[in-house]
A and B are shown apart, each in its own frame.
Chain A
């Protein structure tokens, strides 16, 4: 395989991985704060349609990306009110959020089906982009690709090297301890949930603005579930999420190439099933106490917190 095939192949791996990476990085922060939001798929879809609509109406890619992030955050705020303020069951609420996002995005997108938009521009970095091989591979992407990697790095740094990250981890590890020390558990969890929502919205925006620049109902095709699974398989470590997202992107792209060349490794239906299989595996793993502690899951993950004074 020569470079002229390999470089576009690797570039498509990066684009396939980016929506996963954005959504999974956001969900990682949410889960490190002790909240399990299973509504990633729904927030991605609403992010996708809002970004697409903003792009179609205003033509501004920046407004479009902001709209995607804001839409995800708004949906997650709804989740936050139910789960944090009203202390509802996180699993049930998250599932409901996905169903809600699915329906809402279909409704909002009814008039946008089949319309074209200008895809997100590739940002060329002066000097670097003209390098052979490395240039097209690493330095000729759109803003969201760079942002996804930067955010993963930033989240890793935030969690492990800042006081805010320490408190966030503390809230996820022992909500009662954090409360008795005087940290506002609910407020910190709201921040985390909103951040996760915005990142999921951006992940969706990437799909409708860059990956396939159009709106199709249910266009996330289970990527939200893959993102959830990635967080668990990465054992809640940002850099492993990055590796996992790129690995999964690679699998997707290989499968497409293999199909295109008439060589079918695995029937495509299996790949379509994968998000749901992965979700079942993850939810099964998470319901086992011993697996949770072996994976070093945040100890308060999924447990509602009611401050008692």
Chain B
């Protein structure tokens, strides 16, 4: 594979300036203690959709920031249309015709679409003329967008369109898309791909960053695979199989999750009936009539596009927000709707929030202190208001050992751990407390594949001990892999849960996109409906 790629670069060298639009040669970027990019070479032709494939931490973001002028390489050369270039800042990159759509959008919530576009342009333009151009571009590329809407009223998919339109107005020669589909419904992904193909057909090069193999196979002409900051291979994703690209990306064959045979489920451990919770902020989502039922030994997955009430649902289940009617939430037949997180924890409900730093863990605190914060009651770490230091240290050490948390020791600050390791620690902290009910939000967000499969395995083994688990996630693959049933949350309303085995990706996508269950049922085949019926 390495041979393949160096050959590609060599060809580019011979035909310098004629057919490569962007040509990176031997790019190296070091940060204190880590080499983010080591001798990376990459060439992109006009009109090509080129995939940059790699795990979290493989060096994709660093490389892209170098191309977009946010970072400067320590070694190596960037060639643009054959000419060696130094791109000192994003302004310079845009002037060359490089546009970028960020993974975490660079938008301004309280401003209009028009203002959001204008602030990203390098030369001032009359608002009325700009609005006209926005309408023109959005019509031409099938990206409907009203320039006068406020951004905070828009869905995630619409927000991404702003970013794309902002780039398209510059008539880019190279468009960089950083993990563009992580927050989109399958239907929105389809629409985005059409836009990208159209752009490529017009001669725009696209650098498409992702770790989703299926998307890359569907969209890209060539792929460059990064691992640990190095190029480990280049391939034609249309020819390659997903698993061969995955093994290149991961470096080793990841063993697929052994789906356990569905064992007999126990009694209901978490029951929610008709839960209503008003939004607590103007831009928040209110929960309406949420009902769910999770039985011992079962994992219920909750899918949905980000910002559809997942956070609110998590807070309502964990007890960080309470309701006045105790009976709407029951843990092992105890009414807990009015009880706060601490009391629910005592009754056996542990929770892992999405945000690691600042919600699940205090970044400045040591791992021991962080272990005490959530585990003090169930692990009996307190005596008469004092911390039993020995027991606390022992608990933290057990978490580190059983979940393979890579850290200098239990005294290390939570913020010193990498995302994946901290996540393992936090999930481990709750699992070791042997909760009757575990609520987990985004258990593997931003975590590398190794840590993710360890977390998944831990969740599955917890169910075999009779716990009930709710997993809230935007990663459909994850939910399909580990949950027994899946429900979809959309604008604060939760659909009925369906057995994972009988639900299709298309149905989930329609539900996530806000289609009603009746419509989805109509769209699904009648046989499927029959199969679903108990």
Which A262-299 residues sit within 8 Å CB-CB of chain B? 289-290, 293-294, 296, 299
| A180, B68: Cα distance in complex, Å | 10
| A174, B108: Cα distance in complex, Å | 6
A293 touches B283 (CB 8 A): yes
B105 on the interface (CB 8 Å rule)?
A: yes
Interface range on chain A (Cβ under 8 Å from partner): 20 to 34
- From the candidates A166, A183, A296, name the one contacting B115 in the complex (CB within 8 A): A166
- From the candidates B70, B94, B110, name the one contacting A180 in the complex (CB within 8 A): B70
Q: Which residues of B contact A183 (CB under 8 A)?
A: 119
Q: Which residues of B contact A180 (CB under 8 A)?
A: 70, 90, 102, 106
- Nearest chain B CB to A34's CB is how many angstroms away? 11
B70 touches A170 (CB 8 A): no
- Nearest chain A CB to B247's CB is how many angstroms away? 32
Q: Which residues of A contact B477 (CB under 8 A)?
A: none
- Nearest chain A CB to B69's CB is how many angstroms away? 8
Q: Which residues of B contact A294 (CB under 8 A)?
A: 282
Interface-centre pick from A162, A163, A180 (highest chain B CB count, 10 A)? A180
- The DSSP consensus for interface residues of chain A is helix
A181 touches B282 (CB 8 A): no
- Nearest chain B CB to A138's CB is how many angstroms away? 33
- From the candidates B69, B105, B108, name the one contacting A173 in the complex (CB within 8 A): B108
B70 touches A173 (CB 8 A): no
Chain A minimum-CB-distance residue to B72: A309
| A252, B94: Cα distance in complex, Å | 54
| A299, B109: Cα distance in complex, Å | 9
- Nearest chain B CB to A9's CB is how many angstroms away? 40
A129 on the interface (CB 8 Å rule)?
A: no
Q: Which residues of A contact B107 (CB under 8 A)?
A: 174, 177
A126 on the interface (CB 8 Å rule)?
A: no
B91 on the interface (CB 8 Å rule)?
A: yes
| A183, B14: Cα distance in complex, Å | 38
B286 on the interface (CB 8 Å rule)?
A: no
- From the candidates A166, A174, A290, name the one contacting B118 in the complex (CB within 8 A): A166
A219 on the interface (CB 8 Å rule)?
A: no
A251 on the interface (CB 8 Å rule)?
A: no
B111 on the interface (CB 8 Å rule)?
A: yes
- From the candidates B65, B71, B108, B124, name the one contacting A177 in the complex (CB within 8 A): B108
A163 touches B124 (CB 8 A): yes
| A214, B90: Cα distance in complex, Å | 52
Task: Beyond the given A170-B115, A299-B109, A309-B71, please list 10 additional residue pairs across the A-B interface where CB-CB is below 8 A.
Answer: A162-B124, A163-B124, A169-B108, A169-B111, A170-B111, A173-B110, A173-B111, A174-B106, A182-B69, A309-B65
The 5 closest A-B pairs by CB, nearest first: A182-B90, A177-B106, A163-B124, A180-B106, A173-B108
